[in-house]
A and B are shown apart, each in its own frame.
Chain A
Amino acid sequence: MLQALISGILVGSVYGLFSMGFSLAFGVMRIVNFAHGELVMIGMFVGLVVANNLGVDPLLAMPLAVVIVAAVSAFLYLFVFQRFVGRATLQQLLAAIAVALILQTAAALIFGPSAHAVRSNWGSQYLLVGPIFLSYAQLAAFGISLACVAAVEIVLRGTSWGKSIRAIADDPEAAQLVGLNAHFINVSAFAGAGALAGIAGSVLVSYYPVSPHVGFALMPIALIATVLGGLGSVGGAFIGGLICGVVQQVTSVLWTSALQDVPLYALLILLLAFRPYGLFGRKSAH
């Protein structure tokens, strides 16, 4: 059980990492990016291609993954989501689903429908601390995720760009009135969300096989982590991701790993129905 808790936190840190990007779009712009899992998938495929063609560790592909996924994300904002900013409408959800389907099929046409694992890395090596197995890849993922959370929190709280984002999340009209350039902020926030997804993808691919359909496995987790953490609370989404990881691992131990997501789905529905502002969110964020 201790093993489950610790692996849960390690796995969950990566969930938290890409959930922060989802939360950024949801909290600031009220965009439910159903294609966020596909952004992580693109990051994973970048890591896969680099690792398998250059024979280096997929983590070294991270800068490339960040640039590509951030660009894709900003592109999606400009051409699809821009018109929906501020209103989480059903049309927006349908558009995001369409984007997810298109990206999935594109990936399947390029890479084939099956799952790929990265060749020859240290992802399968373990560190034994007492009775606890710790995978090197997951430890690295944990370290990178923590660094990213710290960076995101510092940027959101310390820089003028981050403060603008939070101002727009709180009150878009007032933020416009005091002269904030909402368009630039929104594009860059989407690029930032993509960058986080790209980091998560290149980290994730070192121990998790990538397939065109991986996005639909990851997106619900981002959604659940975001709702757990509270809409508009980017840091809360990270904690939500940790909770998701722990719930999954504990479910694997007590029940079966095949159904590790089912309690998460139940949790999401109960949260939406009874506590829609999340565990850490403020009521006004809803």
Chain B
Amino acid sequence: MARVPRGNNWLREHATGTWLILLVLFVASVPLLPFGNNYVIAIVVRALLFIALGQAWNVIAGIGGQMSLGHGVFFGIGAYATGLLFNDLGLTPWIGAWAAAVLAAFVALIIGIITFRLRGIYFALATVVISLAFEKLSRYYSAFTGGDTGLAIHFRGTAPAVMQWREPQAFLWITLVVVVVYFLITRWLLKGDFGLSLQAVRDDEEAAASAGVNVYRTKILAFLLSAVMTSLAGTLYLQFYSSIDPGSAFGLSQAIQIQLPALIGGLATAGGPVIGGVIMIVLSEVTNIVSGKMDWPGVDVLAYGLVLLFIVFKAPQGVIGLITSRRPPRKAPDSMATKGVQ
């Protein structure tokens, strides 16, 4: 998929880490700043959730080149499994999150075994219908999942033992830690042995196989990692919003929201989902205000659609691609095309 040429990526090359650490410290200290009221903090948490989901999807779609449109499945499992374990069995989400992640990995294993027989667009289409099936099933088995109205976790006020707080500060610090860890995972994948095999598989499966890479196993392992990361972010989403429903868990528009940060920022880069997530939160806040003022529900989806169209046509390498292509109007390498049918 989108290949950012090595050595042409200012984020990777010049970021001595210093200013990244400063950035993290700044975000962590938002609650202490004068403008850091709960409204602002909640926006930052939502941005961090966008980023974490984008980072998780970027592992398989960007670095692995397998364009899953079914990541809502793992997001939904993370939210639903954690919530059900807590509501029905009283299991704290601190443990439930990992139980959900194991379940997500198991489901990813089954999906991967079947669908990694397929390539490119056929893999994408198969993952679409899998998430549609999950949505239908979660609506139907309502005694278990809460059906259309969804699942609300039993709220106990500020109770750190069960990952609940009235104020959003704690969520900011937790999601920030997750985003930093995911950033480091992405960096490791971009440079480490496993990640290099994965990128080799993405760029040319036959060549990777003849160089001794186990293509099938590499793809499945990356898919499992991506599913676990998505599931953990799903748990955080549930704890932060206190509820989840089939549409916002498994729906196609959710799947697209998971993809957009990486697509906007730049696929297969560590900084891409971060930049994309920030743009997403701005987009989402602006459209929220517009839809509130003008009574236009769903205008955020319209904005997502337009942005997606713009990215596909004008910036297939995302914002990072726009920044790094210093040489003026060079046609971006149409690397996605190599994953086509032909």
Residues of A within 8 A of B (CB): 30, 32, 80, 86-95, 97-102, 104-106, 108-109, 113, 216, 220, 223-224, 256, 258-259, 261-262, 265-266, 268-269, 272-274, 276, 286
Contact A99 B305 (CB under 8 A): yes
Q: How many angstroms from the CA of A94 to the CA of B318 in the assembled complex?
A: 14
A90 lies within 8 A of B129 (CB): no
Determine the interface band of chain B, counting residues with CB < 8 A from chain A: 35 or more
Contact partner, B115, options A32, A105, A269, A276, Cβ 8 Å: A269
Contact residues of A: prevailing secondary structure: helix
Q: Which of B114, B136, B304, B312 contacts A273 (CB 8 A)?
A: B114
Q: How far is the CA of A105 from the CA of B117 in the complex (A)?
A: 35
Specify which chain B residues have a CB less than 8 angstroms from the CB of A269 in the assembled complex. 114-115, 126, 129-130
Contact A32 B125 (CB under 8 A): yes
In whole Å, how far is A187's beta carbon from the nearest beta carbon of chain B? Answer: 19
Q: Which residue of A lies closest to B111 (CB)?
A: A269
Alpha-carbon distance between A98 and B69 when the two chains are bound, in angstroms: 13
B67 at the interface (CB under 8 A from A): yes
Q: Given the interface contacts A91-B316, A105-B299, A220-B129, does A272 sit within 8 Å of B118 by beta carbon?
A: yes
Binds A, one of B34-42, B161-169, B225-233, B332-340: B332-340
Taking CB atoms, residues of chain A closer than 8 Å to B316 are 91
Within the assembled complex, what's the spacing in Å between the Cα atoms of A103 and B124? 21
CB distance B298 to A97 under 8 Å?
A: no
Are A89 and B339 in contact, with the CB atoms below 8 A?
yes
A87 B342 Cβ-Cβ under 8 A: yes
Determine the chain A residues whose CB is within 8 A of the CB of B137 once the complex forms.
259, 262
How far does the alpha carbon of A280 sit from the alpha carbon of B260 in the complex, in Å?
Answer: 37
Report the Cα distance A165→B118, complex, angstroms: 28
Pairs of residues from A and B, 4 with the lowest C-beta to C-beta distance, nearest first: A101-B305, A98-B308, A105-B302, A102-B305
Contact (A88, B340) CB under 8 Å given A32-B121, A98-B309, A101-B253: yes
CB proximity of A122 to chain B, nearest CB, Å: 31
B121:A89 contact, CB within 8 angstroms: yes
Q: Is B71 in the interface zone, CB < 8 Å from A?
A: no
With A95-B313, A105-B305, A108-B297 as known contacts, state yes or no: A223 contacts B336, CB within 8 Å.
Answer: no
Closest residue of chain A to B131, judged by CB? A265
Known: A99-B305, A105-B305. 20 other contacts (CB 8 A): A30-B340, A87-B340, A88-B120, A88-B121, A90-B67, A90-B340, A91-B316, A91-B334, A93-B121, A98-B309, A101-B301, A104-B298, A109-B298, A109-B299, A259-B137, A261-B132, A261-B136, A262-B133, A262-B136, A262-B137
Chain B contacts of A87 at CB under 8 A? 337, 340-342
A86 to B334, CA, bound (A): 14
How distant is B259 from chain A, measured CB to nearest CB, in Å? 8
Q: A98-B306, A259-B137 known; A91 and B299 CB under 8 Å? A: no
User: A98 CA to B311 CA in the complex, in Å?
Assistant: 10
Report chain A residues within 8 Å CB of B342.
Answer: 30, 86-87
Interchain nearest-CB distance for A96 vs B (Å): 10
Which B residue sits closest to A267, measured CB to CB? Answer: B129
B128 interface residue (CB < 8 Å to A): yes
Q: How many A-B residue pairs have CB under 8 A?
A: 135
The answer for the CA separation of A266 and B297 in the assembled complex, in Å, is 33
A contact residues around B139 at 8 Å (CB): 258
Is the beta-carbon distance between A259 and B136 smaller than 8 angstroms? yes
B301 touches A104 (CB 8 A): yes
Residues of B within 8 A of A259 (CB): 136-137, 140
Residues of B within 8 A of A265 (CB): 129-130, 132-133
CA of A17 to CA of B67, assembled, Å: 30
Complex CA distance for A102 and B299, rounded to whole angstroms: 9
Residues in chain A near residue B115, CB distance under 8 A: 269, 272-273
| Of B122, B126, B130, B302, the contact of A102 (CB 8 Å cutoff) | B302
Q: Which residues of B contact A30 (CB under 8 A)?
A: 340-342
Q: How far is the CB of A165 from chain B (nearest CB, A)?
A: 18
B220 beta carbon closer than 8 Å to chain A:
no
Smallest Cβ-Cβ distance to B309: which chain A residue: A98
Cβ contact within 8 Å between B298 and A113: yes
How far apart are the CA atoms of A90 and B308 in the complex, in Å? 12
B256 on the A face (CB < 8 A): yes
Q: Is B252 an interface position by the 8 A CB rule? A: yes
Minimum distance in angstroms from A227 CB to a CB of chain B? 9
Distance in Å from the Cβ of B147 to the closest Cβ of chain A? 10
Q: Which of A30, A102, A269 has the most CB of B within 10 A?
A: A269
